[in-house]
Amino acid sequence: MKLSSSYLQGVLTEIKSFQLFQGYSLEQLEKHCLGAEVLVCKHRERLYEFGEVAHRFGIVLSGAFKLSRSTPAGEDAIMHFSPPGDVVAAFIMAQPQPRYPVSVIAMGPSRFLSIPRQTYLDTWKKDIELISRIQNLLSTRMNQFYSQKAMQKAPLSARIAEFLLNFSDKSTADEFDIRIPLTRKEIADALGVTVESVIRIMSDWSKNSFIQTTEQFITVLRPDKLLEFMQIE
């Protein structure tokens, strides 16, 4: 599934628009993509497995991926959702013999630019600006953890509200779209609770038209109402 160089050009212009590479030239990007391949993944395809030695890292081109781990009970615990433009496993590339700290699974048809670890060591690691931007991504991710952890003792409704608002696209004014197709099960796995509990709360919100689900995509119609759930109750 290696890519021809003409195809690579298209990918380069694609990733050029990502936050991470703001201001980078195509030549620079080409160096950073040495040995890269585009992986076209189907829904639920497993890209990396938790515990495997990590020879590659990469960037989400389209679709989305979930980063998760199995619990002792054999269930899934989702750590993070990676939208297009997000880097996956770049943080651990500098370690001597890195192993994937999570499994990476496609959510719906997705594309991923897979880059060999050696390229990280050769070019990424020496690009201070890039490292710095990746560190910012990591620290954003860490902050999401913090916000969720701060709400651990709050009732489930508050935690789901926080979760949904966190994932919302705040660009539009009143309504918030969630650009990743999330199932109730995935929300449950991300919060460490059961599907049934999530459904009970969210179907309540659906009935009251606070949220809406059309074809896997959730829209928050009344963010103000969800905020109420976060604070008081």
Partner DNA sequence: CGTAGCCTTGAAGGTGATCAATGTTTGTGG
Partner DNA sequence: CCACAAACATTGATCACCTTCAAGGCTACG
Interface contacts to a second copy, rule CB under 8 A: 69-73, 75, 77, 79, 91-92, 94-95, 101-102, 125-126, 128, 131-132, 134-136, 138-139, 141-143, 145-146, 149-154, 158, 192-193, 230-231
Is-contact 51 99, C-beta < 8 A? Answer: yes
115 binds, among DNA, a second copy, none (CB under 5 to 8 A by kind): none
Dist CA 225 CA 210 (whole Å): 7
Residue 8 or 199: which CB sits closer to a second copy?
A: 199
Burial classification of residue 185, based on how many CB atoms lie within 10 Å of its CB (0-12 exposed, 13-18 middle, 19 or more buried): middle
Binding footprint of DNA on the chain (CB under 7 A): 42-44, 153, 155-157, 183-185, 192-197, 199-200, 202-203, 206, 213, 215-216
- Least separation in angstroms between residue 71's CB and a second copy is 5
Dist CA 202 CA 112 (whole Å): 31
49 binds, among DNA, a second copy, none (CB under 5 to 8 A by kind): none
- Least separation in angstroms between residue 123's CB and DNA is 37
Residues 6 or more apart whose CB falls under 8 angstroms from that of 81 comprise 64, 65, 66, 67, 107, 167, 180, 182, 190
